[in-house]
A = this chain, B = another copy of it.
Amino acid sequence: MSITVVGSIAYDAVKTPFGERERMLGGAAVHFALAASFFDRVHVVGPVGDDFGEAELQAMRDRDVDVTDIERVVGGKTFFWRGEYGWDLNSRETLDTQLGVFEGFAPKLSSQSRSSDVLFLANIQPDLQREVRAQLPAARFVALDSMNLWIDIARDSLIAAIESVDCVILNDAELRQLTGKPNLFSAAREVLTWGPRVIVAKQGEYGAALVTAECFFSLPAYPLETVVDPTGAGDTFAGGFVGYIAAHLGGGELSDELLRAAMAHGTALASFNVEEFGTERVVRLTDEEIAGRVAELREITSFSGAPTL
């Protein structure tokens, strides 16, 4: 299989208690693609400006990511985001957002990108997500991310987009906002009735939960003594999760077992991502490191069948 991702390709300026970067490679599609590249071939769809550097493209190519559908808009500027994190990294303030070439973005997919069996609609305007979704009618697994902004200003379109996918990956607060249900489990079950078969609730430092019609699964974040930069953690999680599914779905069903293992791989990828700024850690990650961390995650969540009473 191969995976197509549509979403932002960006330069980020980030300040955390552990340092800062003035202009580093970022964006949801980039974080997703680098993570998913450990499992399968990824085609990235999204716009950049004249200012987007060769080195950044090469960082993706080095992970065998297909960048031919990254559209360079002449005279345009690459999406730019500046943010600063608080002392415990759980709060962040957006100081600047320059949409640049994203303002007039109309996704153009090559035949290769359209032939993927797996599609990830990263957080962009829901109308665009639906437009891309429609271009891969035969995809076997389609997942979607979004954000509070679209719930606020484009709720109907977002719900239509959600109705068209297999899997929704949102923060738990976004699931609550989207459904108006304060209980996370109820909120996830509500979204299941709209069409998707799989709901993933990202819970930041607490990990993530998976809800399907038959199954509930929860996994803590990997414990780190130092988190340097959480930027892109959610998209990196999604890359590991969706990437693992793409690599292992084959001709089979989306089993609970597969989804749980995918959660573990997403969690492992995200834990590496936050150890350094931006994409710095993930670009030099190895398969062995990922496998090692998945094994550690199993170890820190296992308890034995000691007799109860």
Contacts and interface: CB of A to CB of B under 8 A. Distances in A.
A89 interface: yes
Interface string A180-217: 00111110010000000000000101110100000011
A287 interface: yes
A298 B303 contact: yes
A249 to B, nearest CB: 12
A303 B264 contact: yes
Contact of A217 (B38, B185, B303): B303
A304 interface: yes
A103 interface: no
Interface in A199-238: 203, 205-207, 209, 216-220, 223-227
Interface string A11-36: 00000010000000000000000000
A92 interface: no
Chain B CB within 10 A, most for which of A87, A205, A223, A294: A223
A134 interface: no
A144 interface: no
A75 to B, nearest CB: 42
A265 interface: yes
Nearest to A294: B308
A104 interface: no
Nearest to A211: B223
A258 B307 CA distance: 11
A111 interface: no
A305 interface: yes
A88 B176 contact: yes
A111 to B, nearest CB: 28
Interface string A291-307: 10010001011111110
Nearest to A38: B309
Contact of A308 (B209, B265, B303): B265
A189 B218 CA distance: 24
B207 A216 contact: no
Pairs A-B, 7 closest by C-beta atoms: A218-B220, A88-B182, A260-B303, A291-B308, A206-B206, A261-B306, A185-B223
23 contacts: A17-B182, A38-B309, A183-B225, A183-B226, A183-B227, A184-B205, A203-B206, A206-B207, A207-B218, A216-B223, A216-B300, A217-B300, A217-B303, A218-B300, A219-B301, A220-B220, A247-B309, A248-B306, A260-B302, A260-B303, A287-B308, A298-B305, A302-B302
Interface of A: 17, 38-39, 87-89, 176, 182-186, 189, 203, 205-207, 209, 216-220, 223-227, 247-248, 257-258, 260-261, 263-265, 287, 290-291, 294, 298, 300-306, 308-309
Given A206-B207, A257-B304, A298-B303, 20 more contacts: A17-B182, A183-B225, A183-B226, A183-B227, A184-B205, A185-B224, A185-B225, A186-B226, A189-B225, A206-B206, A209-B220, A218-B220, A219-B303, A220-B220, A248-B306, A257-B306, A260-B302, A260-B304, A263-B303, A298-B305
